[in-house]
Structure formats: structure tokens, C-alpha cells
Amino acid sequence: MHHLNLHNYLSRLRHSTANSHLWLDEQGRARGRYFNASLTSAFQAIRSGEDHQVVAYEAYARSYDPGDQGLNIWKLLEYVANDDESVELDRLCRLLHTLNFYRQVQEPGLDLYLSVHSRLLAAVEGNHGMAFRRILDVLEIPHVQIILQLPLITPSQRWVLTHVAENYRRNGFRIGVNASSLEQAGDLLDRIRPDAIKLDISAANHASAQISLLQRADQAQCHIIFRRIENEARFLSLQQANDTASPYLVQGFLFDLPSATLVGQATELPTAASHTTSTIAATAAELPG
């Protein structure tokens, strides 16, 4: 860790108790308290689709569990927290993730993806991202390595998404968006001009459309991330369909599970070229309909 102000802040948190709003536990993890729940962070790697090298991490808010099996905190609290409380929880989670990521990251240049909850799109008035930018500046953490990941939207939320994205961009953040289809990804690429677009692997269902999207995204310097890759057959199918020099990123349980500890770089997986059609057929039964 090379951020002096962050180091000093974490040192102060070590003297806080578990009754505090924010503290460090005996394992050095930043933890927070909300609605009598103890919160912490889990991270899942985002990797190059070509060589599987880690290029970024996505952070998730989890209830604390000593065995690293915490529950999704948003699913636990979404129906008991009002909009104002959700905004407060979102900001607490962002701070927790930032502390837990930068206290252990060793490699320069790794990006951190932080999700913005859907309630914040309309609940926050004024300048989105300004308060978080100030925190990062105080901690001497490079905001340019943080991607604020906006939620999947309905058609009626198009203008809200555009407004929020511009606010975050004005405060120096890079923007990520979620798409439910290749078609929506293309629309978001043109309209929002994001730095990253996430697609479920189930949406990767049209080879020529995928190649077109990847080529356009490459020209626009936007990462396309295929997520929820849970088995090898899905990954091999993706590799074969994307017969293009345009880069893409991947994420999913096939590579690693979300964990409090950042994973290492190496993940050995066979490439599509090393598998025959019979291998694909043998594993195709694993694919959901």
C-alpha cells in the first residue's frame, strides 16, 4: 500500500471498537455497522478474455462471516431501508470497499468496480459523486482507477441514467453500465459513452452481433465484460463466437468466487483452440436452457 493518508486512516480505525460505525477487525478488514448488521467487502476478479490476467475487481457488500460466506447485504436490507437509508448504506459500502481494496492491492493499475444501487439514481439530488470524490482525495486514492457501475435500467429511466452518468463523469469518475442484451449494449455505447459495459453470458447469443459490438467498443475504448460465466462450456462457446482481435473481459465462478482476499493472477484454463467439438458436445448438457 502506497497511500500515506489511507495508511494513517486505517491506523486510526484499528483503535475503534466493534460498536463503532466503522472499524478494523483482527484480520485487518474494514467493517461497518448498519441496522445492527456487520458489513464487509468481497471481491471478484475481472479478467482478460485472452490470457485470463486480472485487470480489475468488482466489490460486493456482504454481511460479515468468519468463513467468508457472508450474505448479500442488499438483499437483506432492500425491503427495510427507505431511500435515504439506502443512500447512506450505498455510501458506507463504497467507503468499505475502497478501504478493503486499497489496503491489500499490490499491483498498480488495477481498476475497482463499485456498483451504484438503483435507488440512488433518483434519490440523490444535486452533484452525484462529489462527496465520494472528496473522500478519495483526502485518502490520496486515484479516482481514475474507480469505475462507478450503474444499474440495469427500464426504458423510463433512460434520462435519469444519462444525467447521473454525466454527473459522475464531471467529478472525474469512469462509468460502467449494465445491459440486458447485445442490442441494449449498443444503445448504451452510443448514448452514455461508458468506459465499460457488462453483459450476462446468457446474452451472448448472436456471434455476428457480438463481434460488431466488440469492434465498436474497442474503437470507443470501452470494455465489454461478459459476466456470470459459471462453467467451461460457456467460456469456450464465448471464445469461439468472438472470432475477432477485439478484446473483451470475463468474470464468473469458473475463475473464482467473491472473497475478502484479492486472488492471485494465475488461473489456468484451456483455450478454445485446444478443445474439439466433441468436448463442447460433452459439456453442453450443463448449459441452462
pLDDT in tens, the chain (289 residues): 567 899 999 999 988 876 778 999 988 999 998 878 889 999 999 999 988 999 999 999 998 888 777 778 777 666 666 777 778 888 899 999 999 999 998 777 899 999 988 777 766 666 678 889 999 999 999 899 999 999 988 877 888 889 889 989 999 999 999 999 999 999 999 999 999 999 999 998 888 899 999 999 999 999 999 999 999 999 998 888 876 668 999 999 999 999 999 987 555 554 444 433 333 333 333 333 3
SS3 letters across the chain: CCCHHHHHHHHHHCCCCCCCCEEECCCCCEEEEECCEEEEEEEEEEEECCCCCEEEEEEEEEECCCCCCCCEHHHHHCCCCCHHHHHHHHHHHHHHHHHHHHCCCCCCCCEEEEECCCCHHHHCCCCCCHHHHHHHHHHCCCHHHEEEECCCCCHHHHHHHHHHHHHHHHCCCEEEEEECCHHHHHHHHHHCCCCEEEEEHHHCCCHHHHHHHHHHHHHCCCEEEEECCCCHHHHHHHHHHCCCCCCCEECCCCCCCCECCCCCCCCCCCCHHHCCHHHHHHHHHHCCC
pLDDT of residue 281: 34
Domains of the chain: 32-284 (3.20.20.450)
Q: How far apart are CA 166 and CA 157, in angstroms?
A: 14
pLDDT of residue 76: 67
Give dist(CA 155, CA 158) in Å, integer: 6
